[in-house]
């Protein structure tokens, strides 16, 4: 059975999440969080409607806050703020799954 990540249509985003999947298997959890968070920020950049009105609240509030969190700066640009450098297995999975689900849901 194909992995869920293969359903991401955009090649660069799919590759990023495939790399994150590999990092998850090799135990490089920081890299997983970096790749997943970066892909999520890219999703918001390509879908600006997700940062309009109440959608922005949902986009920011529901992004995981487990050592790295999302903010929208004063220029309206989303960015990741790092609270720490070390992550564990379940945290990395959370960032990875959240991003994959949202990329698929938004048809990227």
| Contact flag: residue 73 with other proteins (CB under 8 A) | no
What is the Cα–Cα distance from 33 to 48, expressed in whole angstroms? 22
| Contact flag: residue 46 with other proteins (CB under 8 A) | no
- Taking CB under 8 A as the rule, which mask of x and - marks residues 12-31 in contact with other proteins? -------------x------
What is the Cα–Cα distance from 29 to 78, expressed in whole angstroms? 22
Angle (nearest 5°) at CA 46 between 43 and 49: 95
Residues that bind other proteins (CB under 8 A): 1, 3-4, 25, 54, 58, 64-67, 69, 83-84, 88-91, 93-94, 96-98, 101
């Amino acid at each position: 059975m194909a992995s869920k990540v293969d359903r991401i249509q955009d090649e660069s985003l799919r590759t990023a999440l495939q790399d994150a999947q590999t990092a998850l298997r090799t135990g490089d959890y920081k890299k997983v969080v970096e790749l997943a968070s970066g892909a999520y920020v890219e999703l918001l950049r390509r879908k600006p409607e997700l940062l309009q009105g109440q959608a922005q609240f949902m986009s920011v509030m529901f992004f995981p806050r487990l050592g790295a969190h999302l903010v929208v700066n004063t220029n309206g640009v989303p960015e990741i703020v790092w609270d720490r450098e070390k992550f564990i297995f379940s945290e990395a999975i959370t960032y990875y799954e959240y991003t994959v689900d949202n990329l698929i849901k938004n048809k990227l």
